[in-house]
Amino acid sequence: MKKTFLKTLGALLAIVGMVPFVSCSENDEPGVKSYEVTVNLTFPEGVDAASVQDLKLVTTKGTVSDTISLNTTTAEKITLAQGQYTFSVSGKIKDDATAHVVATGSADVYADQAVTLALQTIYQSPLVFKALYTTGGVAGYVKDSYFEIVNNSDDVQYLDGLILSAPTGNQTKANAWQAAGITDRYECGQGTVVAFPGVSGGKEYPLQPGESVVVANDAANHSELANAGNNCPDLSNADWEIQITNSGDPSYIDRTLSVIFQSNQYMKAFGLGFFGRAYILAKLPDGMSPESYAADANNLMTTPGSTSTMQYLMIPSKYVLDAVDIWNSSNENNYATFLPKDDAQGVLASTAWAGKCVRRKVTKIVNGRAYYQDTNNSSNDFLNNQPLTPGVKPTEVDK
């Protein structure tokens, strides 16, 4: 019995003695380690580091992101806490309104290492048309059109000196300029070309991310001004108005876009397009005013292959922030007004005189802010025959 007890006692002592060793056998070194990551950038053909501005690197680990401004060099050393990261680099090509360089990559940072990110050129506009209403609310009434412009970026944008223009569009074949091989400059001025006040690059008229402005031809309640039974909108709360003073256009509000170019003073409204047209939002290089651009004879052109003396204001593709081709829905075939990088394919016009607009699709809503689809293809990005909701923030995503 005593032997049994001593054996049992010995076993128990061994178990008790093991406890401290079990408890201390684990690695006791705490802490999250940091490592040096060298980010190497390769630029696309035709683009060098000097032609890019605002180059930023965003490192994301889980839901936490950190933004680092990069010098326009090809390599940058950063220190990161251990983890699984995605990297996103973006920058703006200086002499093009919508051209950016972007690159993405990922790395598991558990040792010092190098990450190579190959930049590519993309065309994306921070400011885009949210809705265009040009098809009228009742036959014979032409002053109720409006254009809603939204800041679709995450940074504050400025409206100073932005140009709003309406090329003829509505094509079934190449226009005279396209036929003459001029595809990267767009003829503007069938009627008027208008612009926000100020100089491109100015900061007097900010537009916050996700916010929009309504530009009305006339900022009035058209449902009261037009004939009975109309489908016209109330635009008395519009943010801006287009003022064509020499055509007797009345002024309803103080904030007006001014005419910078006019080829037809009898056209009483901007951008009439009841069955379709093309529209441009353009931004000139910083420091340039729309008026001086329009006054420069080098930017004017007559119709190629024609004896007509009517001049057009030519706006190059690289200044275009957003272009929307609205095609006549009755046409059996349509021909694109713009280069594919600006708008590959048009959206069919809404029914004329029905008080309907074309509206850009909402892809997501985050904390009440809508984000809009912008693939530079209006047939994908826009919906036609939409109710008129000038200035109203959407609450639903378009499937």
Partner 1 sequence: MNRYLLLCLATALAAQQAKAQTEFANAANLWHDGAVNELYNIRYHSFNPTRLAYNSQQTTGEALVSYNLTRGDFNNAGAPDNVNNLNVQLGGLKHFERVDVSGFLHYKNTSYKNQEWNSTLFLNPNNPFVLADSVTSDGNIETFAMGAALSYRFNPKIKGGMGAGLTVGSLSDQTDPRPKTNTSRFNITVGADAMLTTAWTLGLAARIELFSSNLSYTIVNPLINHRYFLMKGMGDYFRRSSGEDAGYQRDYKGTTFTGELSATFKPSGSPFQNVVILSASAGNEKATDGGSSYTFKGGDYHFTHFALKDRFMFSYNEHVLHHIIVGAEMGSGNSDWYDQKKLTDTEHGNISYYEVLSKTRIQKQQDMVVTAEYRFDRLADRQPDFYASLLATLANTTLKHYNDNGLQKQQWTNLSLNLTVGKHFTLGKGQFNAQLNAGYVMPVKDRQFATGTNVSGSDDITAVYVTRQFEWASAKRVCLGGFADYNFPVAKAVRLGLFCKVNSTLYEDDAQYFADFKSTSLTQGEFGVYVNF
291 vs 261: CA distance, rounded Å: 8
Give residues with Cβ within 8 angstroms of 396, minimum separation 6. 362, 365
Choose between 29 and 254: whose C-beta lies nearer to partner 1: 29
Provide the residue type at 289 as one letter: S
Choose between 1 and 297: whose C-beta lies nearer to partner 1: 1
Q: How many residues bind partner 1 (CB under 8 A)?
A: 34
Token output for 99: 């051209």
DSSP annotation of 50: G
Measured CA to CA in angstroms, residue 47 lies from 38, 55, 108, 322 at distances of 22, 13, 29, 22
Determine if 113 is a binding residue for partner 1 (CB under 8 A): no
Determine if 395 is a binding residue for partner 1 (CB under 8 A): no
Among the candidate windows 55-63, 203-211, 225-233, 330-338, which touches partner 1 by CB under 8 A?
55-63
Determine if 5 is a binding residue for partner 1 (CB under 8 A): yes
Determine if 62 is a binding residue for partner 1 (CB under 8 A): yes
Least distance to partner 1, CB of residue 246, Å: 52
Determine if 139 is a binding residue for partner 1 (CB under 8 A): no
Choose between 7 and 203: whose C-beta lies nearer to partner 1: 7
Q: What are phi and psi of 6, to 5 degrees?
A: -65, -35
Determine if 26 is a binding residue for partner 1 (CB under 8 A): yes
Among the candidate windows 19-27, 122-130, 325-333, 352-360, which touches partner 1 by CB under 8 A?
19-27
Contact between residue 148 and residue 214 where contact means Cβ atoms under 8 Å apart: yes
Give residues with Cβ within 8 angstroms of 1, minimum separation 6. none
Choose between 20 and 229: whose C-beta lies nearer to partner 1: 20
Least distance to partner 1, CB of residue 20, Å: 6
Q: Which of 3, 32, 50, 399 binds partner 1 (CB under 8 A)?
A: 32
Q: What are phi and psi of 129, to 5 degrees?
A: -70, 130
Sheet architecture: strand order including 277-282: 347-348, 320-327, 277-282, 163-165, 192-195, 256-262, 240-243, 212-216, 146-151, 127-133, 357-360, 382-386
Q: Which of 3, 19, 46, 266 binds partner 1 (CB under 8 A)?
A: 19
Among the candidate windows 59-67, 254-262, 352-360, 376-384, which touches partner 1 by CB under 8 A?
59-67
Determine if 114 is a binding residue for partner 1 (CB under 8 A): no
Choose between 72 and 82: whose C-beta lies nearer to partner 1: 82
Determine if 29 is a binding residue for partner 1 (CB under 8 A): yes
How many whole angstroms from its chain centre is CA 342? 11
Determine if 297 is a binding residue for partner 1 (CB under 8 A): no
Token output for 344: 């590959």
Determine if 9 is a binding residue for partner 1 (CB under 8 A): yes
Long-range contacts of 282-285 (CB under 8 A, 24+ apart): 282/97, 282/162, 282/163, 282/165, 282/315, 282/319, 282/320, 282/321, 283/97, 283/127, 283/161, 283/162, 283/163, 283/200, 283/319, 283/321, 284/161, 284/163, 284/200, 284/319, 285/95, 285/200, 285/201, 285/319
Among the candidate windows 6-14, 268-276, 295-303, 315-323, which touches partner 1 by CB under 8 A?
6-14
Determine if 209 is a binding residue for partner 1 (CB under 8 A): no
Least distance to partner 1, CB of residue 363, Å: 17
Least distance to partner 1, CB of residue 367, Å: 9
Determine if 108 is a binding residue for partner 1 (CB under 8 A): yes
Contact between residue 189 and residue 312 where contact means Cβ atoms under 8 Å apart: yes
Least distance to partner 1, CB of residue 208, Å: 18
HSE-CB of 37 using CA atoms within 13 angstroms: 25
Choose between 1 and 228: whose C-beta lies nearer to partner 1: 1
Q: Which of 58, 60, 72, 83 binds partner 1 (CB under 8 A)?
A: 83
DSSP annotation of 221: B
Least distance to partner 1, CB of residue 209, Å: 15
Contact between residue 61 and residue 37 where contact means Cβ atoms under 8 Å apart: no
Give residues with Cβ within 8 angstroms of 323, minimum separation 6. 186, 278, 279, 280, 281, 337, 338, 342, 343, 376
Determine if 84 is a binding residue for partner 1 (CB under 8 A): yes
Choose between 17 and 140: whose C-beta lies nearer to partner 1: 17
What are the residues binding partner 1 (CB under 8 A)? 1-2, 5, 8-9, 12-13, 15-20, 22-24, 26-33, 61-64, 81-84, 108, 110
